[in-house]
Amino acid sequence: MFQVFSGVWALLLGIVLIMLGNGMHFTLIGLRGGVEGFSALELSIVTSGYFVGFLSGARYTPVLIRRVGHVRVFAALGSFMSAGLVAFPLLTEPWFWIILRIVIGFCMSGIYVAAESWLNNAASNENRGKILSAYMIAQTLGIIGAQGLLGLGDAASSVLFIGASILVSISFGPILLSATPVPAAEVLRPMSLRQLFMSSPLGTVGIFLLGAVYATQSGMGAVFGSELGLGAGQIALFVAMLFAGALVLQYPIGWLSDRMDRRKLIFGASALGAGFCGLGFVTEGAFWFLMLSAFFAGGVTTPLYALFLAYTNDTLAPEDMAAASGGLVFTFGLGAIFGPMATGAAMEQLGPMAFWLALGGTFAAIALYALYRMTQRAAVPASETDSYIGVLPTASTVAVEAAAVWSAENAEAEAEAAVEEAAGGDA
């Protein structure tokens, strides 16, 4: 195990620091926006701006890397992101924050592409699954830890924004000092949405809706808490619970994923998410019920993302998996752009508890569509499904494609082992 991570520990440390800074900034937007009197709709558009930038960065960063190399692109994007974080308190206007969020989303996406390219290059076929899993855990721990740092300052001042900027700035030290140049980032052309839908309607529709869920949770959770009148510490805990649940539920859902019809698991996880959103709504802000609802509603979101990737791969030939993964990441990003705006409009009209209505309704739509798809296509036997790997929604196309390749290689190896075992038995 030590040998597996000896070459990538610095990259993982850098990712934790980046996620500390980025996680702080996500929650700070809601906290400071509440202080400045921004409406829920204004903050929802600010939230969506990040995902507009993120999609753009995923598309154009590989082009920049091919032109000037990983190190220059990584350093430049890191500098812009650090500057953007410091700039939020300088002008507290929604239009200015939207611009900053687009810039930060673009930079963050590019940082992921570069870092994941280094990480993927450092992995071998034998340890790629373990390294990708460690990378996802590092990201989640960074986001959760960021919420604890919010208690060190006041969102009404510039201190926390400066702190987030410092964390992002120092994160590049271990990464740039340890990473070696790698070949230019090669991100495959994503499969078209039409082709993707024809291959896997549930994967395509489900991941679009899940994008709306994830962006609403990560971007509007703090806005919901602020409008509900929670204190800064309570809001930070609420956001942390949205991500903490994923650490606990990822393994059991992944274990079940390789042993049953994934559509039934998608239905069950979505229904669970909808149920706990309903609990959050009917308890009308009772604090510990809010925490419980956040834990389970947030906890099923990340495993569902990996489930949709794995389920879609089950319907494809191995050579199409990487391109399909790129299409799914793009589809998820589209949902992430529109989800917060729809939720913000609902909260504007119906009040803060519409946060749970929007989330619960989207989870319910996923569950119902999964039920419908079960009537349209026979299940893939569990013995023939590709291996599940816990890829996070925050990962770029590089990591998602790497996971798809690992899954295909693992499935082929298992098939070859089964053939050899059968041949040995006949002998």
Q: How far apart are CA 380 and CA 404, in angstroms?
A: 18
Among the residue ranges 308-317, 327-336, 373-382, the one predicted with the least confidence is 373-382
Is 325 a residue whose pLDDT tops 80? no
Instruction: Tell me what pLDDT residue 256 has.
Output: 85
Choose between 384 and 281: higher pLDDT: 281
Among the residue ranges 56-60, 168-172, 227-231, 329-333, the one predicted with the least confidence is 56-60
Q: How far apart are CA 408 and CA 386, in angstroms?
A: 7
Question: What's the number of CA atoms in the CB half-sphere (13 Å) around residue 108?
Answer: 30
Q: How far apart are CA 278 and CA 297, in angstroms?
A: 10
User: Taking residues 53-80, what's their average pLDDT?
Assistant: 84
Look at the pTM and tell me if it is higher than 0.95.
no
Is 188 a residue whose pLDDT tops 60? no
Cβ contacts of residue 190 below 8 Å, gap of 6+?
323, 326, 327, 329, 330, 397
Q: For 243-280, how does the pLDDT look when each residue is reduced to its tens digit (9 = 90+)?
A: 998 888 888 888 888 778 888 999 999 999 999 999 99
How large is the greatest C-alpha to C-alpha distance in the chain, in angstroms? 77
Q: What angle do CA 263, 266, 267 make, to 5 degrees?
A: 90
Q: How far apart are CA 11 and CA 1, in angstroms?
A: 16
Among the residue ranges 3-12, 70-79, 266-275, 408-417, the one predicted with the least confidence is 408-417
Choose between 172 and 107: higher pLDDT: 107
Return the top range by mean pLDDT from 108-117, 244-253, 409-418.
244-253
Domains (range + CATH), the chain: 8-426 (1.20.1250.20)
Is 338 a residue whose pLDDT tops 70? yes
Computed from CA positions of residues 409, 410, 415, 420, in that sequence, does the dihedral angle turn out positive or negative?
Answer: positive
Instruction: Tell me what pLDDT residue 404 has.
Output: 67
Q: How far apart are CA 380 and CA 315, in angstroms?
A: 8
Instruction: Tell me what pLDDT residue 199 has.
Output: 83
Instruction: Tell me what pLDDT residue 10 has.
Output: 80
Q: Give CB contacts under 8 A, 24+ apart, made by 233-240.
A: 233/150, 233/151, 234/287, 235/27, 235/30, 235/31, 236/27, 236/147, 236/148, 236/150, 236/151, 237/147, 237/291, 238/290, 238/291, 238/294, 239/26, 239/27, 239/147, 239/294, 240/144, 240/147, 240/148
User: Taking residues 407-413, what's their average pLDDT?
Assistant: 64
Instruction: Please report which confidence band the pLDDT of residue 13 belongs to, taking 50, 70 and 90 as the band edges.
Output: confident
**Summary mean pLDDT of the chain:** 84
Is 98 a residue whose pLDDT tops 90? yes
Question: Contact 389/132 with Cβ under 8 angstroms?
Answer: yes
Instruction: Tell me what pLDDT residue 388 has.
Output: 66
User: Taking residues 72-95, what's their average pLDDT?
Assistant: 90
Instruction: Please report which confidence band the pLDDT of residue 336 belongs to, taking 50, 70 and 90 as the band edges.
Output: very high
Cβ contacts of residue 314 below 8 Å, gap of 6+?
262, 380, 384, 385, 386
What burial letters (b/e) apply to 59-83, b meaning 16+ CB within 10 Å?
Answer: bebbebbeeeebbebbeebbeebbb
Instruction: Please report which confidence band the pLDDT of residue 281 belongs to, taking 50, 70 and 90 as the band edges.
Output: very high
